[in-house]
Amino acid sequence: MINSSVIRINFIYIIIFLLSLSCRDAKEKNKTSEGKSIKIENKTKPAGSFSDTLKIVSEAAVFYYPDSLQLEKIKAITEKNIFDGSMHEYFYQIRYAHNVLEKYWPGIKIIEARNVRYLQFIKSDETIEYIDLDTKNDAYGLFVFDPMKKPIQLELTNAESEIGLYFSTSKPLKRNKK
């Protein structure tokens, strides 16, 4: 009969061997077909050209956009196909979020924040929250605000469910049935 400690040692060697193989495979996956390493840069959104502040005091959905110079800077540091694809996605995500708000939450004011850097949210208890849009890495985005709550940034891809969750303490103002 084989000693149990010998089995354990062999098992540990097998695990170490398998781990070393998986690490080697991971290193090889980081190379292109020519054998060159892929360099991935973590780019951040360039600063906007404006320093204005937009004040929000009531329930609102605030869509923010880059100014024209900022958009040109983003385009300059982004590969053409990635930039074009991103702009296409933003366009349709923003349009869809607008449609959801207009259909299910018509009482929520839609604000288009263009050519501003800061969003100033004034809550019902008169506390103020500031958002610096230059710190948000998305070129486009959406904040929702209820004066009784803290404003939050929503994922445009999940806007329908996230809008409903944020405003769930108050009933939708209108439900269209089809």
Residue 127 pLDDT greater than 60, yes or no: yes
Element (H, E) at 10: helix 4-29
Q: Which residue has the higher pLDDT, 27 or 164?
A: 164
Closest alpha carbon to 105 in 70, 140, 61: 61
Give CA–CA dist 92/109, Å, rounded: 20
pLDDT of residue 2: 56
Looking at the chain, the whole-number percentage of residues with pLDDT higher than 90 is 47
Helices 159-166, 80-104: inter-axial angle, 10-degree rounding = 40
User: For the segment 38-74, what is each residue's pLDDT rounded down to a tens digit?
Assistant: 333 445 777 776 778 999 999 999 999 998 888 888 8
> For the chain, how are helix, strand and coil distributed in percent, rounded to 5?
40, 20, 40
Maximum Cα–Cα distance across the chain? 81
Confidence of residue 8 (pLDDT cuts 50, 70, 90): low
Question: For the chain, what is the mean pLDDT?
Answer: 79
Confidence of residue 13 (pLDDT cuts 50, 70, 90): low
pLDDT of residue 109: 96
Place of tokens 């049935």: 177
Return the domain boundaries, the chain.
Answer: 1-39, 53-166
Give CA–CA dist 11/31, Å, rounded: 32
- The four Cα atoms 128, 132, 133, 136 give a dihedral, to 10 degrees, of -110
